[in-house]
Amino acid sequence: MIAVEFFYDFASPYSYLASTRVEEVARRAGAAVRFRPFLLGGVFKATGNHPPGEVPAKARYLLVDLHRWAERYAVPFRWPSTFPIPSLLALRSALVAEKHGKLVPFTHAVFRAIYEQDLDVARPEVVARIADGVGLAGEAVASEAERMREALKAQTQEAVDRGAFGAPSFFVGEELFVGNDRLDFVEEALARSRGG
C-alpha cells in the first residue's frame, strides 16, 4: 500500500496540527501513514534553518496563525507555558512505543498533553503517565527512552539526507512536502501514486 511518511517533533505546534489531519488525508487517498519522530533541533542545526519564534515579527504572527489553523480543523489548541518545548524524552519514548506497536496512540496522547493540557513532557513522570494511558508500562518506557538516543539521531539524519529542513515534513516516495499547510499537496501526491 502506498504511504505517506510523517516526520514530526512534539516541539512543533504545526506538527500537532498536522497530526490531527494526516490520517484522514491518507484514508481519503487509500494510503497508509508511517509516523516518524525526529529531532527538529537536529534538523535545524544540520540545515542552518532557524525556528520562526526567533524572529519577533514571525513569533507574533505564529500564535495568530496557529489559532486560525486550530479553528479551521476544529481542534483544541493552547500555547504551552514552556516554549520551546523540551521534547527529547518524549521523542525517544515514542521510539520505545513504536517497538511495542503503540507509536500512533502514544504520539496523539503526547501532542494532546502539550497543546491541549499544557503538560511538561520533559518530566519522566508525565511521559510515564502518557505511556500508561495507551497501554504501555509507563516507568519502563521512560527508563528505556535513553537507549533510543542513536535511533532518534539516525531517523533525524535520514530526514535531513532526504531534504527535510523543518517540521512537519511529509514524504510520498521521495517527494517532500514541508508544513501543515501542504497536506492538500500530500493528498494529491498520494492520489497520483495510486494512479488516481
Cβ-contact 185, 177 below 8 angstroms = yes
Distances (CA, A) of 115 to 2, 96, 102, 133, 153: 30, 22, 20, 17, 25
Active site residues: 12
First-residue to last-residue Cα distance in the chain: 14
Residue 59 clears pLDDT 90, i.e. is over it: no
What does the DSSP 8-state code read for residue 82? S
**Average pLDDT for the chain:** 95
Q: 192: how many CB neighbours lie within 10 A of its CB?
A: 14
Domain boundaries, the chain: 3-193
Cβ-contact 29, 196 below 8 angstroms = yes
What phi-psi label fits residue 8: left (phi over 0), alpha (psi between -120 and 50 degrees) or beta?
A: beta
pTM for the full predicted model: 0.96
Residue 196 clears pLDDT 60, i.e. is over it: no
CA distance 77 to 84: 16
Summarised one tens digit per residue, pLDDT across range 100-155 is: 999 999 999 999 999 999 999 999 999 999 999 999 999 999 889 999 999 999 99
Distances (CA, A) of 51 to 11, 28, 81: 11, 32, 17
CATH topology of domain 3-193: Glutaredoxin (3.40.30)
- Work out the pLDDT band at 53, boundaries 50, 70, 90: confident
Summarised one tens digit per residue, pLDDT across range 8-47 is: 999 999 999 999 999 999 999 999 999 999 999 999 999 9
Residue 88 clears pLDDT 70, i.e. is over it: yes
What does the DSSP 8-state code read for residue 135? T
Cβ-contact 31, 192 below 8 angstroms = no
